Amino acid sequence: MTVLELFFVCPPGLEPQLLKEADRLGFKGLKAIAGGVLAKGDWAEVWRANLMLRGATRVLVRVASFHAKHLSQLDKKASEIAWTAWLARGVSVRVDAVCRKSKIYHSGAAAERVAKAISAVTGGHVDNNADVKVLIRIDHDQCTISIDTSGEPLFKRGHKPAVAKAPIRENLAALFLEASGYDGTEPVLDPMCGSGTFLIEAAEIASRLTPGRDRHFAFEHLPSFKTDKWSALKAEAANAASLASKQFYGFDRDPGAVKAARANVERAGLSDYIDISQRSIAELSVPESPPGLVIVNPPYGGRISNPDALRSLYHTLGQRLKAEFQGWRVGIVTSAPQLAKATRLKLEAGPPVDHGGLMVRLYQTTIAQ
């Protein structure tokens, strides 16, 4: 068995949560570093990571790592790589490069040199729209070359076409659920559910549905791919559990968001477990269920320009939670500490995380009984 070096990419600041998820799923050789989690495994583990990891943005396989201060050194090292062991002959590839604090500072030139080395061996063309992507990172003169085995980012699950305003990405929602201590055994409520992302992710965790079940991956175009083994792996992972009843609740004041969320829930096959209805924050009340988790991504930053309206919204949210949700845990995602403070809840702030160009934090508390 060939042991590969894998890298599970995630939003910086949430590496510990991805590490926990990867460990729970049984991946080996795990180590959290800036921007993701290192792991060891064969090609079957690459496929399994793409299929099952909720918190990862993409799964990379490290091809080579070497020191290079000049383009001539990059040429030589790239030409020495046994590219046909990694890439199929004649298959087009996209080559992207990033250079940081290195003597090789021109990313376009670096990508061009590696692309030529690949084409010379495989006969494939360089195409910016290719399904297979080779990534080059040169950091302090250390060059790392990887293959992106995911293709489209893993937060594109394949079953959420309807998107409301300012949606939270699926993998980010999954990592915030992990950070909130959600394990699939308790009710979850989102009082501003938008496209329903938090609820869909929570319900899939509870019902053990694999996040990648409805999509394709770049690794299907690599020479290491085996259709029969991949089919067997998907069948083995398809051990969905039936939930007893609806235990996921979503509200939104926007009828368009409610319609979008319901469409996404239905497409994900979760209509039996998730209830979505139109309701404002002022009308928020506790459902008939045991205490669980309230998690919400309210408007913030540039999404609403009126600061007084935002502070009022957060204040009303805090009031309703204190009045109705005794014993429930609360997670609030926002970019503005002053808005979190407006809830008048005793919130603990998590690390900053990049969400669409804004640095957000998960603020958490438990409503006293």
Please state the domain extents for the chain: 4-148, 170-208+246-366
Would you state the pLDDT for residue 162? 56
Alpha-carbon torsion angle 38, 40, 42, 48, nearest 10: -50
Mean pLDDT across 209-217: 94
| 358 pLDDT more than 90 | no
Percent of the chain with pLDDT over 70: 96
Measured CA to CA in angstroms, residue 235 lies from 26, 65, 231, 232, 365 at distances of 18, 35, 6, 5, 39
Instruction: Read off the pLDDT of each residue in 236-263 and give the average, rounded to a whole number.
Output: 88
| Fold classification of 4-148 (topology level) | VC0802-like (3.30.2130)
pLDDT above 90 for 369: no
Does residue 319 carry a pLDDT above 90? yes
The 3-state DSSP class for residue 216 equals coil
Backbone angles phi, psi at 192, to 5 degrees: -135, 70
Identify which of 77, 159, 61 has the alpha carbon closest to the alpha carbon of residue 118: 77
Q: What is the pLDDT of residues 278-294, one digit of tens each?
A: 999 999 999 999 999 99
Does this chain's domain 4-148 share its CATH topology with 170-208+246-366?
A: no
The whole model's pTM is what? 0.94
**What is the structure's pLDDT at 132?**
96
Q: What CATH number labels 170-208+246-366?
A: 3.40.50.150
Count CB neighbours of 110 within 10 A: 25
CB-CB contact of 134 with 162 (8 Å): no
Q: What is the mean pLDDT of the chain?
A: 94
Confidence of residue 305 (pLDDT cuts 50, 70, 90): low
Residue 159 vs residue 185, higher pLDDT = 185
**Given a cut of 80, is residue 126 above it in pLDDT?**
yes
Kindly indicate the confidence band of residue 189, based on its pLDDT and cuts at 50, 70 and 90: very high
Predicted confidence band at 230 (pLDDT cuts at 50, 70, 90)?
very high
- In the block, residue with structure tokens 């429930």: 328
